[in-house]
Amino acid sequence: MIADLHFPLKLVVAPTVRDPEDGLALSSRNVYLTAEQRQRAPAFYRGLRRACDLFAAGVVDRTQLIDAVKQEATKEGLDIEYISLSSPDDLSELQAVGSAGAVLSGAWRMGSTRLIDNVLIGFEF
């Protein structure tokens, strides 16, 4: 959008700030989680990390990467809204990670709280 609309801006990509013990993305929404929900919530990030490990081992297929996230999240009974593998350039959905890398992201609910997370695959920032 910055390029399309010729905004005089520079997009700076930065890492997500995470809990140092379990990797859950730090968010103001986390305060709405019960103690039990807070214990289960990092499962989504564990799935994202598992997908990153698969990619590092040569897996580029959308289904396999998304299934890795689903499997971890399902172990903890997370209510997944979506999981996306998308282009870092325009966020269009990808069938496989290409040379430009990908964004693996998703959202899930724990009670009335909606949480989101993402990882970058195939490139560093």
Give 11-57 pLDDT, tens digit per residue: 888 889 999 999 999 999 999 999 999 999 999 999 999 999 999 99
Task: Determine, yes or no, domain membership for 4.
Answer: no
CATH of the domain at 98: 3.30.1300.10
Task: Determine, yes or no, domain membership for 18.
Answer: no
What's the chain's Rg over C-alpha atoms? Answer: 15
Task: Determine, yes or no, domain membership for 6.
Answer: no
Range of the domain at 72: 35-121
Please give the pLDDT value at position 125. Answer: 61
Q: How many domains does the chain have?
A: 1
Task: Determine, yes or no, domain membership for 105.
Answer: yes
In our burial notation (b when 16+ CB lie closer than 10 A, e otherwise), range 60-88 reads bebeebbbbbbebbeebebebeebbbbeb
> Locate tokens 């990619």: which residue?
55
